[in-house]
A and B are shown apart, each in its own frame.
Chain A
Amino acid sequence: MRRDALRLALVLACLAGATTARAQSTGGDTSDLQGLLDETVVTTATKSAETGTSAPATSTTITADDLRRYGIHTIAEAIDFISLGAVTADPLSTVEIGARGVLLSADSGDHFLLLVDGHAVNEPLFGAARFDRGAGIPIEMVDHIEVILGPGSVLYGSNAMLGVINVITKRAKDWHGTHVAVEGEGGQLQQDTAHLAQLPNDIRSKLDGWQTSDAVGLLSWRVMGGVGYEVPLFGKKAEITAAVEYFKQDGPAFTFGPQYGGIDVASGRPVQYDRPPLPATGYWGGVADQSYYVREPGAQVHVVWGDFDLNVHASTFQRETPYRGRFTHSDVDFNDPSSYDLDRSLWIDLRHHAALSAVVELTSRAYADTWDYRDTLDASEISACITLPLQGSNPTCTYKGEFASRWVGLEEQISFDWLKDDSLVTLVGVDGRLRFVGSKLDTSDFATGRPVASSTGLIHEYDQALGVYAQQTWQPTRWLGLNGGARFDEETRYTGNVSPRVAATANAWRGGTFKAIYAEAFRAPSWIETNFSGPLQIPGGNLEPERVRSIEGSFEQRFGAQRLLFGAFRSWWSNLVEWHQLTPDEQKAAAASGQYNGLVDYGVGQFRNLASVDNFGFDAAYEGSAGLTQQLRWGMTVTGAIARRNDPDGTTEPLTVGPQVFGNAHASYDLPGDWPMVAVALHWMGQRYADRAFDGAWPSALLPVAPPQLELRATISGPVPQAKGLSYRVGANWALADQGPYVVGPAQDWSSQVPPQLVPVDTFRVMAGLQYDLLP
């Protein structure tokens, strides 16, 4: 695979050389100017606009052009196909995100801070942020995405441990007019990823109705409408950019199992994995043709009026995961259409910027967010309902979790440009929040809908969070830039937490830049980790924030419109909050102290500060463009990282799910006139240990490992001839490996003597879309 990447790079370099030579031969060597026009401008690293080269961070900027030309639909896809150093994994529920070899599974995205136009999205109850369709941001409205690698708490506080992703939406001038888009994705409707057709006959005879078909059809579709207009308002220019979208996905129907669960001890019958009246066969699996879907309506509005900047977001994200896993609906009936997860998000952010003098600038921000999450699960397995007073001999119970976070905040930020030349700037800020978090878990009889037990998992808490930060930048000479700062964070559950950063940037020679960065970051434990009490969970109590310290160095060389980057990093993670399953003695003690009801005698656990992680590796990137209008563009990245988890008992093991070697490559060519843009992108990952690889007691021959993955996407886009304002985009996506790094089904460990089955991957899709832009 590395050899293929090298060949691709050589081909691109030859093409670039040929195109550049042609430009020079015509007397138009504009490569220096093109190099400047290819400089990215980032605002996330220091909360001020600066070039990516001079920013005290390793960053990637993904432009709206990139999103369109490479057929990108989500932040996660943008990260996988274009970004340096970050990677996602898809357990078929919400994608998980990691960077530089560290991907902490089942973390709800709470180790990456997600910003939308500078507004922090991660909420306090789970720390959750969504990077897939659940982000709810119409992709056409995205101007660019800044991906900042490494600890970023110095200016942003909690959650910025792996990095910060800032989605910047378009201004009206860049999205002028009215826009409508419709697109769909199709493929094989049922995919026999469990290879049911190859099962032995004696098993097949017990699995009536598990056969799949080869039919193809529509799997998802999406519609989007948006506007971008500038209008006078009370004597000032106002601009509004807004978009709404609806996305719907059904399938594909993956196959799972069969996993034999044996005889249920309580009933004496085979385990009931399906909803009655389907019989209890003891076999889990089949064709999940009703339980993998997504519904996502989302809206984003951006209004600029004078020095005011208003952003409003609203979205819901309903989805169902087609299997049961350790943290994903561990008791849910197979192929149950009525179990689902639902996020609802609404936020508003008003910002004001004022230059008070040539020296002083003041930025004020007020914001309010509400986010809630609902989790509905139907279970017919006797062990899931046995403690409940249900009617009938084969009852189904329904668990409904309701979780909510609400917060309002004010941020004041003042900067002093002491010498009026940007060479010595002090930034000071304070960010205060009032927060509410709440949760409850209800159980009811599926048949009647009547509650059958008192609510559990009750959280109803108000608290305050305060962050104070300062940053000093100093450019003592033309070639040297220094940056130092720290942020102090405090909230109700922990005392002061300081996150420093120091960085130096040196322009050694023309186009050559060295960077050295030391930074620390933290993640406040989520309220679910500290306060939630459920049938299988006792509260974590006084958990310490997770911490990471990182040191990194990089060298970047620009030559004309090409850029080469190499960096090395090392980071140390401590106090990682992880699930700890109580020992029998601990469980007895917890029951005796009233921390749980004692009705369940196995599987009770608690979040604790347990592990630490040592992580080191390198990042490399090469990108460039050629041609007077940069018709040819290309780029490639590679990251190699070692990440080892250290347990309190002294054992050390690799981190699961995240790849240790991964990268991407992309190239596009813009054919002249109305001819289309042709683009190819690929991302690849090395072998990955599955999430249960080291805690499932598997025999070494059955250690669950996801194979290396190579995903290739080809996209063609351009204007529809003879149809002014109408454009198209078509593409196809291939994935070579059909398994990902998550163990699915009830066989989550070797105790059931069933070999592990890994989550399936949708290996082929085609996409087609039309967009109409009505310009006034």
Chain B
Amino acid sequence: MRGVALLAIAAWGVFSRDARAEEVAVPEGLQAQLVGKMAAYDRAFAARAGERAHLLIFEKPGDADSARTAAHLEAALRALPDVGGLPHDETIVTWAGAAALPEAVRARHAAIVYFTPGFAPDVEAIRTALDGVDVLSVTAVPDYVPRGVVLGFDLVGGKPKLLVNLSQARTQHVAFQAEVLKMAKVYE
């Protein structure tokens, strides 16, 4: 009985914590593989990336979910032999606000920017900031795609599903092949 009481106290401590969920539906390892493949179906990717693809993974300061996902994504992406057929490197970047985003992309010559959980209040600002910026934005959180991130992944029926925001893709000069769009849930 004492053990059960201790469990109850522990459970109450956790339940009373102010929490927020932005669910990462697809395991990061599988997301990384999908990103590596999807980049190859972006007709503008090679020109954008040049000889080497630079990926920036944005992490929200003080957010354990975000930090955890960023670390997992970095490790999973690092394990890929190529991204869109190119050698690549990944960097975790601490979020400094949407206003600094375009400059970060240009300065680091990023071909892909990846948003981890924790950016729900910032998605619209991110979308606006990336208008006209030549970059593929990707997210681990399915909810962000209809709100303005170009590519994301959901889990439906125990299998991954591609999510594409097509209007935002055009704005960011991302041009996925039509065959790939037929396999995705497309938001206009």
A residues near B (Cβ < 8 Å) are 23, 26, 28, 30, 32-34, 36-42, 49-51, 54, 61, 63-66, 143-144, 146, 168, 173-174, 236, 304, 306-308, 352-359, 361-362, 364, 366, 410, 412, 417, 420-423, 430, 432, 434, 464, 466, 478, 628-630
Contacts and interface: CB of A to CB of B under 8 A. Distances in A.
Interface string B14-47: 1101011100001111100110011001000000
Contact of A355 (B10, B68, B157): B68
Contacts of A412: 7, 10-11
Contacts of B41: 30, 33
A269 to B, nearest CB: 59
A437 to B, nearest CB: 18
A39 B65 CA distance: 24
A422 B159 contact: no
Given A355-B64, A420-B71, A629-B182, A61 B158 contact: yes
Nearest to B24: A49
22 contacts: A28-B178, A32-B37, A36-B30, A37-B183, A41-B27, A41-B30, A41-B158, A49-B27, A61-B157, A63-B159, A64-B157, A65-B157, A143-B156, A355-B65, A355-B68, A357-B64, A357-B67, A358-B71, A412-B11, A417-B71, A464-B4, A478-B79
Interface in B67-88: 67-68, 71-72, 74-76, 79
Interface residues of B, number: 49
A116 to B, nearest CB: 15
A28 B19 CA distance: 44
B3 A33 contact: no
A51 to B, nearest CB: 6
Contacts of B1: 464
B159 A307 contact: no
A30 B180 CA distance: 7
Given A352-B19, A364-B10, A410-B11, A51 B158 contact: no
B67 A168 contact: no
Given A51-B29, A628-B183, A144 B15 contact: no
Contacts of B94: none
A173 B141 CA distance: 13
B155 A366 contact: no
B19 A432 contact: no
Interface string B112-144: 000000000000000000000000000000100
Contacts, number: 150
Given A30-B183, A36-B34, A356 B64 contact: yes
A146 B159 CA distance: 12
A23 B183 CA distance: 13
A354 B15 CA distance: 9
B8 interface: yes
B179 interface: yes
Contact of B159 (A41, A359, A432): A41
A36 B72 contact: no
A168 B155 CA distance: 12
A243 B37 CA distance: 38
B162 interface: yes
A307 B4 contact: no
B147 interface: no
Nearest to B154: A173
Give the most central of A42, A304, A410: most B CB within 10 Å: A410
A236 B20 CA distance: 8
Contacts of A307: 19-21
B71 A432 contact: no
Nearest to B159: A40
B157 A143 contact: yes
A478 B33 CA distance: 13
10 closest A-B pairs by beta carbon, nearest first, are A63-B157, A421-B75, A28-B179, A144-B158, A307-B19, A420-B71, A358-B67, A355-B64, A61-B158, A410-B7
